Structure 1
């Protein structure tokens, strides 16, 4: 299929397909007139690339998944051995971000309840005109 057909079949733009090719994620054949020609597995590959990118992986991360991208939806199958390192790094980064966000949430809750303020100096949220003290 040609690039426009692949774009329609996979629900992405032609520009995205060219980007995937530039990043080494797609390798189309070239016809004698220079047109890109993709095989039928390309639709599955593009959908998997989209899924991985939408879950926060970079194009470089997705390269680790290349051996697995044509074998059905990557989220439905067992972990592909070449992708385990990328998934492990992503999980570690997410856990770190969750810890950071939890700490921010805890500080905000303390500010709301006044636990973080001294008697002479109310917390910044308690001083805000829109704040109404609970209770």
Structure 2
């Protein structure tokens, strides 16, 4: 699959794919014309990379985790690091839920007619 096809199917930019290659997170080969060729599994790999980045993992951490994701085998040192990452993500989720609850309160207040309160749709 060519770089543009992977980018389109994965919903990322071509630049992002090149970055992933630079970070040794994604592999490609070159055809006789020098164009990048990706395996059919590249789209799912890119989606996984996007999820890991969105969770706040660094390129270095992702690079360390990918072999374990592929093989299912984890060293004790990596297990300790992954446990710490999971704790960090859990804290981030709690903070996001707290912010969402505050927004829910503001929305609920705005939807109730009352003195000094303007409905948001008005």
TM-score under structure 2 length normalisation:
0.63
1:84 to 72, 75, 79: 79
Relative distance call for 1:41 and 1:95 in structure 2 (3 A) is closer
TM-superposed CA distance for 1:93, in Å, is 4.5
How big is each residue's C-alpha offset from its partner over 1:16-58, in whole Å with a ceiling of 9 and x where there is no partner?
0000000000110111111000011111110000000000000
Per-residue deviation, 1:92: 4.8
Q: How many residues align?
A: 92
Structure 1: unaligned runs, 5 residues or longer: 72-78, 102-135
Query: Is the Cα–Cα contact under 8 Å of residues 3 and 36 in structure 1 kept in the other structure?
Result: yes
Partners of 1:12 and 1:52 lie apart in 2 by: 14
Name which structure has the greater RCO, CA cutoff 8 Å, separation 6+.
2
Computing the radius of gyration over CA atoms, which structure comes out larger, 1 or 2?
Answer: 1
Change (3 A) 1:17 1:86: farther
Contact 1:29/1:37 (8 A) holds in 2: yes
Output the TM-score relative to the length of structure 1.
0.57
Comparing both structures, which one devotes a greater share of its residues to helix?
Answer: 2
Q: Can you give the 5+ residue segments of structure 2 that lack an aligned partner in the other structure?
A: 96-122
